[in-house]
């Protein structure tokens, strides 16, 4: 349904791209900042006050820690472990 609506709007969007694109980029930049701040708050609440949670929410990595620290270890952990698996192994 949404894809159909977007496809119908493509001709209009092409004409208005010069006006719409900078606005959308600004909105998205603000949303990324808001999401990063909310995940930073979640991180402080969950991990700064005992008891700590049993599981780590990796959205904290994605939306807060990556933009703050630029440390890719949380991604590499999953990728490098795949190197130990044999193709077709179960």
Is there a domain that residue 28 lies in?
Answer: yes
- Whole-model pTM above 0.85? no
Q: What is the pLDDT of residues 12-25, one digit of tens each?
A: 878 778 888 899 99
Domain that holds residue 66: 2-82
Is there a domain that residue 47 lies in?
Answer: yes
Is there a domain that residue 88 lies in?
Answer: no
> Higher pLDDT residue, 55 or 19?
55
The stretch 54-79 carries a mean pLDDT of: 88
pLDDT band at 1 (very low <50, low <70, confident <90, very high): confident
How many independent structural domains does the chain possess? 1
Is the separation of the CB atoms in 43 and 60 below 8 Å?
A: yes
């Amino acid at each position: 349904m949404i894809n159909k609506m977007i496809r119908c709007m493509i001709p209009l969007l092409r004409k208005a791209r010069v006006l719409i694109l900078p606005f959308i980029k600004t909105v998205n930049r603000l949303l990324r900042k808001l999401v990063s701040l909310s995940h930073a708050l979640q991180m402080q609440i969950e991990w700064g006050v005992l008891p700590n949670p049993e599981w780590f929410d990796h959205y904290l990595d994605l939306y807060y820690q990556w933009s703050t620290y630029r440390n890719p270890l949380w991604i590499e952990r999953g990728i490098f472990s795949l190197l130990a698996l044999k193709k077709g192994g179960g």
